[in-house]
Amino acid sequence: MTHSLAVTVLGHDRPGIIADVTGVLAGLGGNLEDSSMTLLRGHFAWTLVVAVAADASVVSDRLAHLMAEGLVVSVLPLPDDDATAPEGSAWLLSVHGADRPGIVSGLTRLVAEAGGTITDLTTRLGTGIYLLVAEVSLPRETDVEALSARIAAAAEGLGVRATLTPAESDVL
């Protein structure tokens, strides 16, 4: 029986983390189905979904040596019914401007109120500028023009600029 597991690995970056984790998973016959990894101020952050015959406790035991190296590892079973992608149309929310608290919560709240789902989110704080890029799935019946106007107004109140544009499938 194959299990779908969510694995997260967090901690100080060092060479070989991905090779170590995927080596354990491959040794268990695991197939990496989905993943997202980034470095956040020198800290490694990776979330992945793996299909593997071993259950979560076995995978966790096999990855335990990474915890001794200071990494935080979690392995959680995923229910089978969560395998579907969000339905709707794909959009790109781009935000930039001066940093301040409330930008992410204020603008993503509007997406949620419209029934939308954030499918990917990246934020960066550069020299004097804050950047947010989010992939958004909106229900097909969403009044995108009205939502764009609400986002623009909220962004102005937050002192940033925001745009909601159709996502091109070859870009995502």
The confidence band for 81, taking pLDDT boundaries of 50, 70 and 90, is low
**pTM, to two decimals:** 0.79
**What pairs with residue 164 in β-bridges?**
93
pLDDT at 172 over 80: no
Once rounded to an integer, what is the mean pLDDT over residues 73-84? 82
pLDDT at 104 over 60: yes
Question: Domains of the chain (ranges plus CATH)?
Answer: 3-82 (3.30.70.260), 89-166 (3.30.70.260)
Once rounded to an integer, what is the mean pLDDT over residues 110-130? 94
Share of the chain above pLDDT 70, in %: 94
The confidence band for 87, taking pLDDT boundaries of 50, 70 and 90, is confident
pLDDT at 32 over 80: yes
Residue 126's pLDDT is what?
86
- Could you give the CA distance from residue 44 to residue 9 in angstroms, rounded to a whole number? 7
Where are the alpha helices (H) located in the chain, listed in sequence order?
17-27, 56-68, 103-113, 144-158
Tokens of 167: 């996502």
Residue 127's pLDDT is what?
85
Residue 123's pLDDT is what?
94
Average pLDDT, the chain: 93
- Could you give the CA distance from residue 73 to residue 11 in angstroms, rounded to a whole number? 9
Tokens of 139: 């229900």
